Chains A and B, each alone.
Chain A
Amino acid sequence: MSNNMLGLINLQIDHPLTELNEDRPLSAQPFAGKFRLIDFTLSGMVNAGIGNIGLLLSFHSRPILDHIRSAKDWNLARKGDGLFYLPGEIEDVIRPVEGDIRAYYKNLMFVERGLRRYLLLSTCDMVHNIDYDQVMHFHRRHNADVTLVYQKQKSAQDVPSHLLTVNERERVTELTPVDQTNPGDNQFLQTVLIDSDIFMKSVRFANAKGYTNFMNDIIGRNLNRLRVFGYEHDGYAARIQSIQSYFSANMDLLDYQNWRNIFKDDTRVYTKIKDEAPAKYMEESQVTNSLVANGCVIEGRVENSILFRKVRVGKNACIRNSIIMQHSVIGDDAQIDYVVCDKNAVIQPEAVLSGSPDQPLCIGKYAVK
């Protein structure tokens, strides 16, 4: 456990899944039956003993504030330390500035006052269970200035990212922005451990110079000057950037090994507590290869699907390859396949709806179909 790290999560790097919900930031996107995307990064920090975490808020921050509130459910409602909301300013709306350096510059006070030797910088569009404590041990062992967390890709992905070239001594020699990744690539996992002093100095300098992009302009330009190392994460990780990557990352968790890998006993993923009863299976229910959250009541059939909290599945209804969010109701005899239902959706009795693996059918919040 380490109390010499400060956490900073940038929620401004965000691309809502517009097919589902225009207003909801990706960080607040419901995921894996009861979580929101931010829970994974935030819980990872809490599990590593980081007690001082800043959230750089985007302008659609209502869903995040409603979700996290005092951060008590993450054990971050503390005296002195704890969770800090770092909101934007009206000026940023009137005169938007490209890139993320300006936002870090404006919030340097958080890092300065945090008085921690290291800063862990991350985004909230990632699903993983990275042990940040191990990252810090790696960082110290290499006497690094910066450690970038990456993963060797198993399959091609249509997700913009940075690729790392790492030499035999685990030092990063090249950092390349790309639009898509191929199998075998070292994909950057949006997680940077950096010495706080170096972070503050570089951000001040880069801001004065008019640089905009932290990864390209601060890390990429200084691979020769800074000791930058690459830490390979070998557990499950996925970056959510589109409805397709969202859908497939959810489905990944229907693999028992992935489910166990993300949801470990000693590093739990925390989320807002809802106090629902255990899931109820009726006599006629038939459920296979699925994730089912508390509060669900199931009478029908469910296959290869994810049911969020408080979903009702009617008699003889059949759900396949679908994601059904909180409080949705699937009517009797309805049949759905490759569908993503947002919160409180209602699928009427006997309705038949289907999408495809590449293009799941999206049903909006409170929609009735």
Chain B
Amino acid sequence: MKRTECLAMILAGGKGSRLGVLTETLAKPGVLFGGKYRIIDFPLSNCRHSGIDTVGILTQYQPLELNWYIGNGSSWDLDSDRGGTFVLPPYMGNSSSNWYQGTADAIYQNLNFIDMINPQYVLILSGDHIYNMDYSKMLAFHKKHNAGATIGAIRVPLSEASRFGIMTADDNMQVNKFEEKPENPRSDLASMGIYIFNKDLLKKYLMSDAALTDSQHDFGKNIIPAMLQEQIPLFAYPFEGYWKDVGTIDSLWQANMDLLADDPPLDLNNPDWRVYSGNQALPPHYVGPRGSAKGSLVGEGAAILGTVVRSVIFYGVTIEEGAKVTNSVIMPGTVIEHDVVIDKAIIGERCRVHAGTRIQNEDGSVFVEGNDTEMFPDDCHTAKGDEQA
């Protein structure tokens, strides 16, 4: 059989602790987004559209729902005989069993899998970002420059640069400096946490890093600096377009709101770049005689009997008559009863907000409630967003 050219490995074990109640029983890549998606739909759909048919998904924290969702990858058309989707949890070896200690260690512990597939290149992705990106262009760039490793890079405002891995590169985009989360960033070129490595080179560096006791086994902190030091040709592939880390309640809420602009920065309706996701077999949504939706996204099977303004309403949600939802994200299967008022909130799956409840944080922050919660008018619904921030 033809050799796999490029194997994608998606790091999907992150706890996402800054997402609070939303990741209590669910790894961050499984968090719901945009009325029908989960975060991991984006890298998986990108792989499918980039011609990558073999994907390993490294899970660790709360993997059950994520495993159930991924299945055999057929939702993303990644279940072909030539490739496939492989969920890779930590496992027990002959002499030891270890949780994944860092991003590099997670890949190191799966070197057997990588050898089994035996690709020429390994694409490392994180399951935490919302973006549409053609990895085949990045691979072509990698090959053109004869790079040992290529780092996906995006320009960020200098004021935010200290949150990222920051690079400086020459005119050819060859990287000459890489700093993880620098206090005084001297460049606005940020690492997206996306890497393409030549497989043999990656293997060599992972093995030598694994032997170090003082390493954090992290790509940004250890592997990339080690390669730079030994003058491996490292290049930065400049990505232009919408890219959002949705690691906090605020950024998750903001990324959802970004979709509601009349001309949104991330186009979900591009026929050449559909974002695939698990399917629900639900009917078109229903808008009642007194229902109304403006500046909003509404998923299948939802019933809009009340008023929805600038909100993301997931599939299977019911908004009863007289309820008003503004600037909010309502996740699947939740029922908002009549005369409820909700502003600037993220409400989890299968909740029931009882009639007359008012939800809004007084300080203007985003209110958050987790899955399977009942909410009553007498409870205090004002401060939860703060606790999680």
Does A1 have its Cβ within 8 Å of any Cβ on chain B? Answer: no
Chain A residues positioned under 8 Å from B298 (CB to CB):
278-279, 281, 292
- What is the interface of chain B mostly: helix, strand, loop, or mixed? loop
Chain B residues positioned under 8 Å from A289 (CB to CB):
287-289, 291
Does B57 have its Cβ within 8 Å of any Cβ on chain A? Answer: no
**Which residues in window 78-120 of A have CB below 8 A to B?**
none
**Which residues in window 252-302 of B have CB below 8 A to A?**
262, 268-269, 274-277, 279, 281-301
A289-B287, A293-B300 given; A275·B295 CB < 8 A? no
Partner of B36 from A34, A268, A271, A278 at Cβ < 8 Å: A278
Closest A residue to B313 by beta carbon equals A278
Complex Cα distance A271/B282, Å?
A: 9
Closest B residue to A34 by beta carbon equals B284
- Residues B284 and A32 in contact, CB atoms below 8 Å apart: yes
Complex Cα distance A308/B35, Å?
A: 18
Does A224 have its Cβ within 8 Å of any Cβ on chain B? Answer: no
Chain B residues positioned under 8 Å from A310 (CB to CB):
269
Chain B residues positioned under 8 Å from A254 (CB to CB):
286
Does B34 have its Cβ within 8 Å of any Cβ on chain A? Answer: yes
Does B303 have its Cβ within 8 Å of any Cβ on chain A? Answer: yes
Closest B residue to A307 by beta carbon equals B284
- Residues B284 and A278 in contact, CB atoms below 8 Å apart: no
**Which residues in window 268-296 of A have CB below 8 A to B?**
268-271, 273, 275-295
Instruction: Please indicate which of the listed interface residues A34, A263, A283, A294 has the most CB atoms of chain B within 10 Å of its own CB.
Output: A294
Does A9 have its Cβ within 8 Å of any Cβ on chain B? Answer: no
- Chain B count of residues within 8 A CB distance of the other chain: 39
Does A259 have its Cβ within 8 Å of any Cβ on chain B? Answer: yes
Instruction: Please indicate which of the listed interface residues B294, B305, B313, B314 has the most CB atoms of chain A within 10 Å of its own CB.
Output: B294
**Which residues in window 43-84 of A have CB below 8 A to B?**
72-73
Complex Cα distance A269/B269, Å?
A: 24
Distance between B312 CB and nearest chain A CB, rounded to angstroms: 8
- Residues A285 and B293 in contact, CB atoms below 8 Å apart: yes
Distance between B201 CB and nearest chain A CB, rounded to angstroms: 36
Partner of A276 from B74, B274, B285, B294 at Cβ < 8 Å: B274
For chain A, the bracket of interface size reads 35 or more
**Could you count the A-B residue pairs with CB atoms below 8 Å apart for me: how many are there?**
117
Q: Annotate A255-275 by CB proximity to B: 1 below 8 A, 0 otherwise.
A: 010010011000011110101
Complex Cα distance A332/B7, Å?
A: 47
Does A33 have its Cβ within 8 Å of any Cβ on chain B? Answer: yes
Distance between B383 CB and nearest chain A CB, rounded to angstroms: 30
- Residues B288 and A256 in contact, CB atoms below 8 Å apart: yes
- Residues A278 and B35 in contact, CB atoms below 8 Å apart: yes
Partner of B285 from A35, A279, A282, A288 at Cβ < 8 Å: A279
- Residues A281 and B294 in contact, CB atoms below 8 Å apart: yes
Chain A residues positioned under 8 Å from B34 (CB to CB):
277-278
- Residues B284 and A291 in contact, CB atoms below 8 Å apart: yes
Distance between A218 CB and nearest chain B CB, rounded to angstroms: 35
Closest B residue to A309 by beta carbon equals B284
Chain A residues positioned under 8 Å from B295 (CB to CB):
281-283
- Residues B274 and A288 in contact, CB atoms below 8 Å apart: no
Partner of B287 from A72, A278, A287, A295 at Cβ < 8 Å: A287
Complex Cα distance A277/B312, Å?
A: 12
- Residues B277 and A281 in contact, CB atoms below 8 Å apart: no
Complex Cα distance A293/B36, Å?
A: 13
Distance between B257 CB and nearest chain A CB, rounded to angstroms: 13
**Which residues in window 308-329 of B have CB below 8 A to A?**
312-315
- Residues A259 and B286 in contact, CB atoms below 8 Å apart: yes
- Residues B282 and A268 in contact, CB atoms below 8 Å apart: yes
- Residues B281 and A281 in contact, CB atoms below 8 Å apart: no
Complex Cα distance A273/B281, Å?
A: 8
- Residues A279 and B297 in contact, CB atoms below 8 Å apart: yes
Partner of B299 from A278, A285, A290, A297 at Cβ < 8 Å: A278
- Residues A281 and B284 in contact, CB atoms below 8 Å apart: no
Instruction: Please indicate which of the listed interface residues B279, B281, B312 has the most CB atoms of chain A within 10 Å of its own CB.
Output: B281
Partner of B294 from A73, A273, A283, A297 at Cβ < 8 Å: A283
A259-B283, A269-B281 given; A278·B297 CB < 8 A? yes
- Residues A287 and B284 in contact, CB atoms below 8 Å apart: no
Distance between A59 CB and nearest chain B CB, rounded to angstroms: 30
Distance between B362 CB and nearest chain A CB, rounded to angstroms: 27
Chain B residues positioned under 8 Å from A259 (CB to CB):
283, 286, 303
A278-B34, A278-B35 given; A269·B283 CB < 8 A? yes
Does A306 have its Cβ within 8 Å of any Cβ on chain B? Answer: yes
Complex Cα distance A269/B301, Å?
A: 11
Chain A residues positioned under 8 Å from B299 (CB to CB):
278-279, 294
Complex Cα distance A278/B305, Å?
A: 18
Complex Cα distance A288/B289, Å?
A: 5
Chain B residues positioned under 8 Å from A256 (CB to CB):
286, 288, 303, 305
Closest A residue to B301 by beta carbon equals A263
Closest B residue to A282 by beta carbon equals B262
- Residues A286 and B292 in contact, CB atoms below 8 Å apart: yes
- Residues A275 and B284 in contact, CB atoms below 8 Å apart: no
Complex Cα distance A33/B268, Å?
A: 20
Chain A residues positioned under 8 Å from B285 (CB to CB):
279, 291-293
A288-B292, A289-B287, A291-B284 given; A281·B297 CB < 8 A? yes
Complex Cα distance A95/B148, Å?
A: 71
- Residues A291 and B268 in contact, CB atoms below 8 Å apart: no
Closest B residue to A294 by beta carbon equals B300
A263-B283, A286-B292 given; A280·B297 CB < 8 A? yes
**28 A-B pairs whose Cβ atoms sit less than 8 Å apart in the complex:** A34-B283, A73-B279, A256-B288, A256-B303, A269-B283, A271-B281, A275-B275, A277-B268, A278-B35, A278-B299, A278-B314, A278-B315, A279-B297, A281-B294, A281-B295, A281-B296, A281-B297, A282-B262, A282-B294, A287-B291, A289-B287, A291-B284, A292-B298, A294-B284, A295-B269, A306-B284, A307-B284, A308-B284
Pairs of residues from A and B, 7 with the lowest C-beta to C-beta distance, nearest first = A33-B284, A278-B35, A277-B268, A293-B284, A268-B281, A263-B283, A278-B297
Apart from the given pairs A269-B281, A283-B262, 18 other A-B contacts in the complex at a CB distance below 8 Å: A33-B283, A33-B284, A34-B283, A254-B286, A259-B283, A268-B281, A271-B281, A273-B279, A277-B268, A278-B35, A278-B298, A278-B314, A279-B297, A281-B297, A281-B298, A282-B294, A291-B285, A295-B269
Chain A interface (Cβ within 8 Å of chain B)? 32-35, 72-73, 254, 256, 259, 262-263, 268-271, 273, 275-295, 297, 306-308, 310
